[in-house]
Amino acid sequence: MTGIEIIATTSSIGAEIRGIDMATASDEEFQLIQWALLEHHVVFLRGQHLDDEAHEAFARRWGDPIPNPIVAKLEAPVAIGVVYNDAEHPPGQDNEGWHTDHSWASYIPDIAILRSVTAPPNGGDTMWCNIAAAHEALSPALRDFLSELTARHDPGPRFALEMRARMPADVADQLLEAFPGTDHPVIVRHPVTDRPGIFVNPGYTRWINDVTPAESAVLLELLFKAIAHPDHVCRFRWQEGDVAIWDEHATLHRGPNDFAPARRELRRFTVGAAEPSAA
């Protein structure tokens, strides 16, 4: 393995891997990508220019691609997810906050592999934060208190509107019934490294259970501030053909709405499905 470089984006999160062609990566190179992901939580491989088949073939080296839980309920589920925006399809105004993908379901993906098909000329970056580093920055007393708590996650106030706008009424009703929201521990344990991390997000977490509404609001505000602290965040500027791979159990991500009305297309496979477990 000569000519491979791993360049950390920050000391807390992110690394660019240079010198590996994902389409032809050897087992040794693949293991290096896996190691780098555990170490850096999100890794970037530029200029890969994969097509859907090569993207899926790479994803399968981690395990079976799992469709989004909503898509999985449809008659013909497809594993690939497409994020597409242009002047007629502007990015959402209220759903782009920090989140773990579909934390409103009982399970979350292990890994997400996202590639850029069309990059906007300006903006359209993606950001990730390190939930274990954010947890470590809290005081031991607060960490102990939070470790006993669970929080409610749901798909959000616009979920019903969106489902009814996009699906036949009976399918929308079934989906609304299937995903009423779920509870997860506020502090979760990483399934491989055992590191504890903060598992609430402004995208999908509604309240913390077993405390008063006022206490929940204050705690969530504090935790949302903790996860978004610039010390634990990295940001990636996409160029066409680039790939980002992230660990859903170690990070949250968000995409600022700063590129409309330009066209942007990203395609994604997620692999694995695990219920977040308490630290």
| Cα 142 from Cα 171, distance rounded (Å) | 43
| Binding window for Fe ion (CB under 5 A); candidates: 96-104, 116-124, 161-169, 215-223 | 96-104
**Strand order in 251-254's β-sheet?**
233-236, 126-130, 251-254
The nearer residue to Fe ion, 32 or 117, going by C-beta atoms, is 117
Size of the site for Fe ion (CB under 5 A): 1
| Cα 51 from Cα 23, distance rounded (Å) | 10
247 contributes a contact to Fe ion by CB under 5 A: no
Catalytic-residue membership of 101: yes
Q: How many CB atoms lie within 10 A of CB 174?
A: 15
CB of 32 to Fe ion, least distance (A): 26
Catalytic-residue membership of 195: no
Given 16, 79, 101, 248, the residue binding Fe ion (CB under 5 A):
101
Site residues for Fe ion, 138-157, by CB under 5 A, read none
Tokens of residue 70, six digits: 């909503």
The answer to whether 152 touches 240, Cβ cutoff 8 Å, is no
| Cα 1 from Cα 40, distance rounded (Å) | 20
Set 99, 115, 190, 263: catalytic member: 99
- Per DSSP, what are the bridge partners of residue 264? 85
| Binding window for Fe ion (CB under 5 A); candidates: 52-60, 95-103, 242-250, 264-272 | 95-103
CB of 114 to Fe ion, least distance (A): 9
The nearer residue to Fe ion, 149 or 250, going by C-beta atoms, is 250
CB of 99 to Fe ion, least distance (A): 6
Catalytic-residue membership of 268: yes
Using the structure block, give the residue that is written with the tokens 């997400």: 112
CB of 225 to Fe ion, least distance (A): 20
The nearer residue to Fe ion, 101 or 247, going by C-beta atoms, is 101
The nearer residue to Fe ion, 97 or 191, going by C-beta atoms, is 97
| Binding window for Fe ion (CB under 5 A); candidates: 4-12, 66-74, 101-109, 195-203 | 101-109
Catalytic-residue membership of 41: no
Set 189, 263, 264, 268: catalytic member: 268
CB of 248 to Fe ion, least distance (A): 9
Tokens of residue 143, six digits: 């960490």
| Cα 226 from Cα 139, distance rounded (Å) | 11
The nearer residue to Fe ion, 101 or 110, going by C-beta atoms, is 101
The nearer residue to Fe ion, 24 or 93, going by C-beta atoms, is 93
The span from the first CA to the last CA of the chain, in angstroms, equals: 37
CB of 204 to Fe ion, least distance (A): 10
The residues that are catalytic are 99, 101, 253, 268
Chain residues that interact with Fe ion, rule: CB under 5 A: 101
